[in-house]
Amino acid sequence: MKLGISVFGLGYVGCVSSACFAREGFHVTGVDVSTAKVDLINAGQSTIVEEGIAELVREMRDSGRLNATTSAAEAVLASDVSLICVGTPSRPNGSIDLQYIDRVCEQIGMALRDKTTHHTVVIRSTVMPGTIDDVVIPALERGSGKARRRRSG
């Protein structure tokens, strides 16, 4: 049985990633705060303009392997892996704004409160070194009330 994947952010990277993972046989749940993007995916339409992606989204939606929601909890509970593809815009001083990463990680964490199985979180967004330790893990722990499991070795 293939893993379920939740993809947070249905812009360019998230839309393409969702459709491609679904093509490989995974069940993919896309998540976005934009109901317009969620509605497009659920109607079998792409959120972006790129050669071949409209057809692929339609095929994957018709196959039942691709759907979308605005509910982080629904997506996390239906998946084993969350792929974060949200924007990290530049601030006026050139630094990266990580507010969307922080918000999504906290939402994922809140969903993990009620999840008893292992869940992997993958960052696909543009981030600087240290972001996992400084932003991602604290937000997941804050949302879930759980501490990350450290691997030995």
* Residue pLDDT, tens place only, 9-29: 999 999 999 999 999 999 999
pTM listed for this prediction: 0.93
Lowest mean pLDDT among 28-32, 60-64, 145-149: 145-149
Average pLDDT (26-52) is: 97
In percent, the amount of the chain with pLDDT more than 90 equals 89
- pLDDT for 151: 64
Report pLDDT for 153: 57
pLDDT at 76: 97
Q: Tell me, what's the pLDDT at 119?
A: 94
Percent of the chain with pLDDT over 70: 96
- pLDDT 10s digits, 95-137: 899 999 999 999 999 999 989 999 999 999 999 999 999 999 9
pLDDT score recorded for residue 80 = 96
* Inter-residue contact 76 to 119 (CB < 8 Å): yes
Tell me what the pLDDT averaged over the chain comes to.
Answer: 94
Burial class (CB in 10 A: 0-12, 13-18, 19+), 113: exposed
| C-beta of residue 75 within 8 angstroms of C-beta of residue 83 | no
Structure-derived torsion over alpha carbons of residues 75, 88, 55, 37, reported in degrees to the nearest 10: 60
Q: What is the pLDDT of residue 148?
A: 75
